[in-house]
C-alpha cells in the first residue's frame, strides 16, 4: 500500500519537477547506498545507534533542493512498529524527546536530524540493532517517501561513520 | 530473558529504582537471615561495640568518609549538569555569525564574552519578522560595571528571562537599567559602565553616559543574576553608533530600522512551538548565520563529559573497594582482640555458628553504621560544595542525593557484609586452647 502511494506521489512529483527522480546511488565506485533522492529532495547518511532496546533514534541529513517547502512527517520501517518525528529538549537537566507534528523544510535549505536535535524515533524495534548492520527505512514527507538504507553505528556514536563526506 | 526485560521496561522509573535498591540489598539481607537464623547475639554484639568504642568509632568514621566521598562525587556531577542546563533553559535558539557553537553558548548564555562578527540589520529584521518568531532579542555584550556585565537587549527579553520583576519597573529610556538579582546596586543607584570586561576594562571610556537602575530581576539561577540589562540602544549610543532607529526617533525597543541597526553579536530567538524552533534553525543556518540550540550544545558537552562521569564513578567505587579491603583487614585484627573472649564462649558450650553470627553481626553493625553516616557525610559535603560552586560560577547548583547514590551505598553494604563472612570464618577456625592461653 505504502509503495503504491509512494509510486503515485513520486509520479506526481516527477510531473511537477523536471529533475529525474531516482533512488540515488551516486558513489563513484558504485557502492554507496547512503543517500536517496527524489524530486529535488535528498536524504543522506541515515544512521542509528546499536541497541537492544525497543526504541531507537534515527538521524539523517535532508536537503530540500526543490522549489517548494516540504515537510518531514515521519518514517516507516519493517523492523519497528512505528517511527515518529521527535524533538530534543533538556528538561531540568535531563534529556527528553517530544513527539512533533510535521516540520517544514523550506526550499533550498537543509534539515539535519542529529543527536540532541530533531530525530526520528523507532518504537517497537523487533530485533536488536547491531553495530555495522544495515536496515531499510522509508522517510515520509508530505510529498511522498524516500527509500534508503540505515546504517547502524556504535552504541555511543555521535555521527554517521561517513559524516563529512559529500555522499 | 526477553520477557523479564519487557516486564522491567514496563515498570515506572520510581518502581525500577526501588526494585534495584532492594535487589542490591538482597544479598546483605539474605546473608543476615541465614547467619542469624535461630540466634539473637545482639546484646553480646552491643557489648563488643561498647568495649572498644573508640576503635569501632574510627572504623565507622573511615567507612563513612569513603561512602561520603563516593556519593558526594556522583551527586555533585549531576547537580552541576542540571544547574548548567537550567541556566540555559530560557535560551531556545541562538542566532550568531558562523563560528563555534560552544563559544557562543558561553558568551550568550553564560556571559563569557568572545569577539565575534556582528549580525547586521537586515539579518535581524528577517529573523524578527519571521512568522514563527515570537521573540527576537539582540544580546549585545562588551561593557561592564565592576563584576557585572552590561548587556544591551530589549524589554521583552528581560520579561522572558525574569517574568515579573522582583522590584521596580522595566527600563523605558536610554539611561535606564534593570539589575540582575545578585547585582550590588539598589534601585535608584547610578553608574557609568566601563568599556570591556575584567581587569583590562577601560573605566571612564563611557564617561557622561550614566545609567540608573530602575528595576531588579527575579533570581534566575544563572550568570544573568549578576548582569545589568539595558536597552540595546543604550549600548549602541555610548559607543557612538546609530540607535537602531531613524535619527530623531527616541523610541527604545523593537521594531528596529535595519538601516540604522549597528549590529549585535547574538540574537535570542523564540518560537511558540518546539517544531517551529527546528524549522527556524534550518532556515537561519546559512553562509552568514549560525543557528543553534544551547540545550543541544550543552547536551553534547554533557555527553562527551559522560566519560568523565564514568571515571568519577569508577573512582568512587575504587575508593570504596580500597576502604572495604582496609575494613576487612581491620576486622580480622579486631576479631583477634576478641579472640580470648570468643574462645571462652566456645569453651563454655556456645556453638561455633553462634560465635560466627556474633562476629558477622558485629562487622555488619560497623559497616551499616558507617554507610548510614556516610550518606549524611555525602549530603553535607554536597551542600557545601554546591554553595561554593554557585558562588564561583553564578550557576545555581542544587545537588541532592538521589537513587544512584543510594544504589551505590546499597551495593557497597551488600558487598562488604558478604566479605565480612571471611573474618567470621577465620574467628571460628581459630584454635580455642591457644586462644584461651593467650
Nearest residue on chain A to B82, judged by CA atoms? A93
Pairwise CB contact (< 8 Å): A93 & B82: yes
HSE toward the beta carbon, residue B69, CA cutoff 13 A: 16
A16 compared with B374, residue with greater pLDDT: B374
Pairwise CB contact (< 8 Å): B299 & A98: no
Pairwise CB contact (< 8 Å): A105 & B282: yes
Q: How close does chain A come to B422, measured CA to CA in Å?
A: 39
Rounded to whole angstroms, the Cα distance separating A92 from A103 reads 25
Rounded to whole angstroms, the Cα distance separating A123 from A117 reads 18
Asked if the peptide bond before residue B255 counts as cis, ω within 30 degrees of 0, the response is yes
Which chain B residues touch A118 with a CB distance below 8 Å?
Answer: 278
Nearest residue on chain B to A63, judged by CA atoms? B282
Whether B158 contacts B229, CB under 8 Å = yes
Q: How close does chain A come to B371, measured CA to CA in Å?
A: 28
Its pTM stands at 0.76
| Per-residue pLDDT, B266 | 95
pLDDT tier for residue A14 given thresholds of 50, 70 and 90 = very low
Question: Which residue(s) pair with A62 in the sheet?
Answer: A43, A111
Low-confidence ranges of chain B (pLDDT < 70): 1-2, 199, 201, 204-205, 207, 306-307, 438
Domain ranges of chain B: 13-86+305-437, 93-292
Q: Which of A59, A90, A95, A125 to mutate to test the interface with B (most CBs of B within 10 A)?
A: A90
Pick the CATH number of A2-153 from 2.60.40.1890, 2.40.30.110, 2.160.20.10, 2.40.160.20: 2.60.40.1890
Indicate whether A33 pLDDT > 50: yes
| Per-residue pLDDT, A162 | 65
Q: How close does chain B come to A30, measured CA to CA in Å?
A: 30
| Per-residue pLDDT, A8 | 45
| Per-residue pLDDT, A12 | 42
Pairwise CB contact (< 8 Å): B274 & A104: no
Residue with cell 563529559: B305
| DSSP states of B388-406 | HHHHHHS--------HHHH
| Per-residue pLDDT, B149 | 92
SS3 B205: coil
Rounded to whole angstroms, the Cα distance separating A43 from A100 reads 19
Q: Give me the residue from A90, A98, A111 closest to B89, CB to CB.
A: A90
Sign of the dihedral through C-alpha B229, B231, B236, B238? negative
Mean pLDDT of A36-40: 84
- Strand B148-153 to B133-145 pairing: antiparallel
| Per-residue pLDDT, A26 | 36
| Per-residue pLDDT, B305 | 73
SS3 A127: coil
The 10s digit of each residue's pLDDT in A87-116 is 998 877 778 899 999 999 989 888 999 888
| Per-residue pLDDT, B150 | 94
CA distances to A47, A157, B44 from A162, rounded to whole Å, are 10, 12, 69
A58 contacts chain B (CB < 8 A): no
Indicate whether A2 pLDDT > 70: no
Domain ranges of chain A: 2-153
Within 279-298 of B, beta carbons closer than 8 Å to A belong to: 279, 281-283, 285, 293, 295-298
Instruction: Round the CA-based radius of gyration of chain B to a whole number and report it.
Output: 32
| Per-residue pLDDT, B348 | 87
Indicate whether A20 pLDDT > 70: no
Pairwise CB contact (< 8 Å): A54 & B298: no
Rounded to whole angstroms, the Cα distance separating A145 from B292 reads 28
Pairwise CB contact (< 8 Å): B274 & A93: no
Pairwise CB contact (< 8 Å): B299 & A101: no
Residue with cell 558513489: A27
Q: How close does chain A come to B131, measured CA to CA in Å?
A: 13
Mean pLDDT of A68-86: 93
Which chain A residues touch B277 with a CB distance below 8 Å?
Answer: 87
| Per-residue pLDDT, B199 | 67
Q: How close does chain A come to B11, measured CA to CA in Å?
A: 14
| DSSP states of B301-353 | HHHHTHHHHHHHHHHHHHHHHHHHHHHHHHHHHHHHHTHHHHHHHHHTT--HH
Lowest-pLDDT range of A22-36, A71-85, B252-266, B330-344 = A22-36
Q: Give me the residue from A95, A104, A117 closest to B279, CB to CB.
A: A104
Indicate whether A19 pLDDT > 50: no
Q: How close does chain B come to A38, measured CA to CA in Å?
A: 20
Rounded to whole angstroms, the Cα distance separating B324 from B329 reads 9
Mean pLDDT of A32-61: 87
Amino acid at each position: 500500500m505504502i509503495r503504491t502511494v509512494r509510486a503515485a506521489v513520486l509520479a506526481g512529483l516527477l510531473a511537477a519537477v523536471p529533475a529525474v527522480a531516482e533512488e540515488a546511488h551516486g558513489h563513484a565506485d558504485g557502492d554507496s547506498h547512503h543517500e536517496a533522492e527524489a524530486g529535488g529532495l535528498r536524504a543522506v547518511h541515515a544512521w542509528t545507534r546499536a541497541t537492544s532496546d525497543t526504541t531507537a533514534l534515527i538521524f539523517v541529513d535532508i536537503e530540500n533542493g526543490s522549489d517548494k517547502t516540504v515537510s518531514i512527517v515521519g518514517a516507516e520501517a519493517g523492523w519497528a512498529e512505528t517511527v515518529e518525528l521527535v524533538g530534543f529538549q533538556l528538561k531540568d537537566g535531563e534529556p527528553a524527546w517530544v513527539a512533533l507534528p510535521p516540520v517544514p523544510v523550506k526550499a533550498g535549505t537543509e534539515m539535519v536530524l542529529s543527536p540532541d536535535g530533531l530525530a526520528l524515533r523507532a518504537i517497537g524495534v523487533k530485533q536488536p540493532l547491531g553495530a555495522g548492520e544495515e536496515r531499510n527505512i522509508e522517510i515520509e514527507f508530505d510529498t511522498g517517501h524516500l527509500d534508503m538504507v540505515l546504517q547502524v553505528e556504535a552504541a555511543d556514536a555521535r555521527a554517521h561513520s561517513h559524516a563529512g563526506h559529500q555522499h | 530473558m526477553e520477557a523479564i526485560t519487557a516486564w522491567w521496561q514496563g515498570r515506572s522509573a520510581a518502581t525500577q529504582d526501588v526494585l534495584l535498591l532492594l535487589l542490591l540489598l538482597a544479598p546483605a539481607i539474605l546473608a543476615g537471615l541465614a547467619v542469624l537464623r535461630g540466634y539473637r547475639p545482639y546484646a553480646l554484639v552491643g557489648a563488643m561495640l561498647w568495649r572498644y568504642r573508640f576503635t569501632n568509632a574510627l572504623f565507622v568514621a573511615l567507612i563513612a568518609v569513603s561512602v561520603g566521598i563516593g556519593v558526594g562525587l556522583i551527586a555533585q556531577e549531576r547537580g552541576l549538569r542540571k544547574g548548567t542546563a537550567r541556566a540555559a533553559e530560557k535560551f531556545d535558539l541562538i542566532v550568531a555569525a558562523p563560528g563555534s557553537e560552544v563559544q557562543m553558548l558561553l558568551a550568550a548564555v553564560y556571559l563569557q564574552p568572545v569577539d565575534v562578527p556582528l549580525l547586521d540589520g537586515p539579518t535581524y529584521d528577517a529573523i524578527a519578522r519571521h512568522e514563527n518568531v515570537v521573540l527576537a532579542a539582540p544580546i549585545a555584550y562588551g561593557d561592564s560595571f565592576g563584576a557585572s556585565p552590561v548587556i544591551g537587549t530589549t524589554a521583552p527579553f528581560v520579561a522572558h528571562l525574569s517574568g515579573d520583576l522582583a522590584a521596580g519597573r522595566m527600563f523605558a529610556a536610554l539611561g535606564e537599567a534593570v539589575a540582575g538579582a545578585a547585582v550590588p546596586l539598589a534601585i535608584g543607584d547610578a553608574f557609568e559602565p566601563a568599556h570591556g570586561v575584567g581587569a583590562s576594562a577601560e573605566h571612564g571610556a563611557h564617561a557622561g553616559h550614566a545609567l540608573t537602575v530602575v528595576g531588579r530581576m527575579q533570581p534566575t539561577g544563572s550568570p544573568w543574576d549578576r548582569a545589568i540589562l539595558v536597552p540595546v540602544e543604550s549600548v549602541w549610543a555610548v559607543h557612538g553608533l546609530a540607535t537602531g532607529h531613524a535619527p530623531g526617533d527616541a523610541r527604545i525597543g523593537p521594531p528596529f530600522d535595519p538601516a540604522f541597526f549597528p549590529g549585535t553579536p547574538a540574537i535570542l530567538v523564540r518560537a511558540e512551538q518546539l517544531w517551529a524552533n527546528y524549522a527556524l534553525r534550518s532556515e537561519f543556518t546559512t553562509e552568514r548565520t549560525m543557528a543553534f540550540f544551547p540545550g543541544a550544545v550543552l547536551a553534547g558537552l554533557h555527553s562527551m563529559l559522560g566519560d568523565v562521569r564514568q571515571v568519577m564513578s569508577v573512582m568512587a567505587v575504587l575508593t570504596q573497594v580500597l576502604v572495604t579491603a582496609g575494613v576487612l583487614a581491620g576486622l580480622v585484627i579486631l576479631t583477634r582482640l576478641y579472640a580470648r573472649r570468643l574462645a571462652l564462649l566456645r569453651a563454655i558450650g556456645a556453638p561455633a555458628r553462634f560465635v560466627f553470627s556474633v562476629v558477622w553481626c558485629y562487622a555488619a553493625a560497623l559497616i551499616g553504621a558507617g554507610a548510614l553516616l556516610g550518606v549524611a557525610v555525602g549530603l553535607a559535603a554536597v551542600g557545601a560544595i554546591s554553595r561554593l560552586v554557585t558562588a564561583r560560577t553564578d550557576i545555581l547548583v542544587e545537588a541532592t542525593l538521589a537513587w544512584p547514590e543510594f544504589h551505590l551505598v546499597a551495593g557497597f553494604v551488600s558487598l562488604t557484609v558478604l566479605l565480612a563472612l571471611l573474618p567470621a570464618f577465620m574467628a571460628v577456625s581459630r584454635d580455642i586452647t591457644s586462644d584461651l592461653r593467650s
